[in-house]
Copies of this chain bind each other. A is one copy, B any other.
Amino acid sequence: MHTRPGVEPYTTRTPRVVAARRLQRRRERMQERRFLAEGPQAVREALAEGVVVELFTTLEAASRYADLVEAAERSGVRSSPVTDDALAALAETVTPQGLVAVCEFVDVPLAEALSHQPRLVAVLAGIRDPGNAGTVLRTADAAGAGAVVFAGDAVDPYNGKSVRASAGSLFHVDVVRDDDPLAVVERIRAAGLTVYAADAYGAQDLDHVPLAQPTAWLFGSEAHGLPPQLADAADARVRVPIYGRAESLNLAAAAAVCLYSCARAQRTEGTSR
């Protein structure tokens, strides 16, 4: 057990808990370069990546997930018992499963991500909904993307909802944050990738563009798509064909179709890279 005799569980008023709770706000996260990950799956992934600074657990969770608490202690991570109330205050879900970790930011500069020569990249430019952003990150990971770029005013990848929707993928791929989407596109193209703008009204049909080469996909906001200037910077605007009567696909579905189409073509058609 991680509780030493005489150590009372921290409450909502314990300064360490109060400080950690502040990380629920974007401004605090940016200042501290730390964020919160909750639940056993995310905590396990964060521990494996070596980015956990402190682990808060209820007494019940410390016993149910003793392996995680031991893994934390072996790595020299401070493991702190908290009351159920304090855990509930740290967590943002109704059923937080008793574990919340304070983690260091995991993002890397774009140059570093590109140095790993990814063959598939997703660029989120202006996605506003954190759940959508996390879902696209998860889908990109599943499709084998090496990097996911949160560009411009896209949602913060460390937003609690985004972290949860990513289901651990935040820790799997090179996540990049960059304020300048146009510069991102230029540097990705300079690294040898084809850049496609996913655009419901794009001139090119997904079924008729080359997909086997190293490719980056630009995804825009749910409501407004990509800014014209950014879509123009891509090598092509590509639409997922609508075979039925729907007006469009939602963002997460369109991203899944685009990313998997590339993943499959890269594996079945072969590439030079």
Contacts and interface: CB of A to CB of B under 8 A. Distances in A.
Interface of A: 135, 138-145, 165, 167-169, 172-173, 207, 240-250, 252-257, 260-261, 263-264, 267-268
How many copies of this chain sit in the oligomeric assembly?
2
B244 A173 contact: yes
A249 B142 contact: yes
Contacts of A172: 244-246
B253 A144 contact: no
A268 B241 CA distance: 13
A169 B252 contact: no
A175 to B, nearest CB: 13
B141 A245 contact: yes
10 contacts: A138-B249, A138-B253, A139-B250, A139-B253, A141-B245, A207-B264, A207-B268, A250-B252, A253-B255, A257-B257
A135 B250 contact: yes
B207 A249 contact: no
B135 A253 contact: yes
A247 B263 CA distance: 17
Contacts of A253: 135, 138-139, 142, 252-253, 255-256
Contact of A257 (B138, B169, B247, B260): B260
Contacts of A241: 263
A64 B19 CA distance: 49
A169 B138 contact: no
B143 A250 contact: no
Closest 10 CB pairs of A and B: A144-B243, A253-B256, A142-B246, A172-B245, A141-B246, A256-B256, A141-B244, A144-B244, A257-B260, A139-B253
A169 B246 contact: yes
Contact of A143 (B135, B142, B207, B244): B244
Contacts of A246: 138-139, 141-142, 167-169, 172
Contacts of A263: 241, 243
A225 to B, nearest CB: 15
A250 B240 CA distance: 19
Given A168-B247, A169-B244, A250-B252, 9 more contacts: A143-B244, A144-B243, A167-B246, A169-B246, A172-B244, A172-B246, A207-B268, A253-B253, A254-B256
